[in-house]
Amino acid sequence: MPHGWRGEPRWVDVFVSNDPQAPTIVVDARIQHRMGSEVSNQIRIDLSSGGLFANGLTTRDGVRMNGNKIAVDSYKSSDGAYHATNNRNDNGSVASVNVAVDAVNLQNADVYGYVATGGSSPLVGNNGSVTGADTPGGVSVDPNRVSTDFYAEFPPISAPAMGAPVTVVPTSNGTHTLASPEYELTSLTSTSQINYSISGDVTMIVNGDISVMGEITITPGSSLTSMSRAIWTSVVTG
């Protein structure tokens, strides 16, 4: 039984639940006045699992979305293909550990899910939104779906070994298929509307910035493994 500087007895009890997925910590602190009265205070902390891959899109430096046709949402693959009406859920999520005011800049993008930052509220344009199925009508940014205490560790990673990668991709207006197994680019930029279609299993390393006006789609049965050293990545839709 520890004592305070005036000799009054003090107690601190800590309880931790045995739930590895969602542990609860309860702290009970008490101090007894020398005249006999007792003052107590309790703190409860509810924890949940999280981390680097807890969100659909997580960045260290920031997220900036440009355009009027960007939407982030989710769907259940066990219920079939994505469908905007019949198979669309509000678990799409965007996160950044950055504490800057523009760490997550949605502009006119729609997030049907959650947004988390390291300290500042996301910037949302007049036509943008952060909502869910339980968001009241007329609300464009649901405060229950925004948090500003996100944290994640970004472990160092090494670029995959490349054999004989393609070093140039088309940047002209139109649709271009990327079907080579390996690409290593100085940067990936376009100043006109462009669509890249990924065909097959493609690995791409971009050593500079990425700024694409258009779309990058992955055809059924294909995959894209990408690594970028860019500080900002921007994909702009029309």
- pTM for the structure as a whole: 0.67
145 vs 125: CA distance, rounded Å: 17
Residue identified by tokens 């509307």 is 193
30 vs 71: CA distance, rounded Å: 51
- pLDDT tens digits, residue range 162-183? 999 999 999 888 899 999 999 9
pLDDT above 70 for 50: no
- pLDDT tens digits, residue range 104-137? 999 899 999 999 999 889 999 999 999 999 999 9
Per this entry, what is the length of the chain? 238
Cα 12 vs. chain centroid, distance in angstroms?
37
What is the per-residue pLDDT for 87? 93
Nearest partner of 217 among 180, 173, 178, judged by Cα: 178
Q: Is 159 helix (H, G, I), strand (E, B) or coil?
A: coil
Cα torsion through 49, 50, 51, 53, rounded to 10: 110
Contact in structure between 213 and 194 (CB atoms under 8 Å): yes
Q: Is 202 helix (H, G, I), strand (E, B) or coil?
A: strand
- pLDDT tens digits, residue range 196-235? 999 999 999 998 877 777 788 899 899 998 888 765 555 5
Contact in structure between 130 and 147 (CB atoms under 8 Å): no
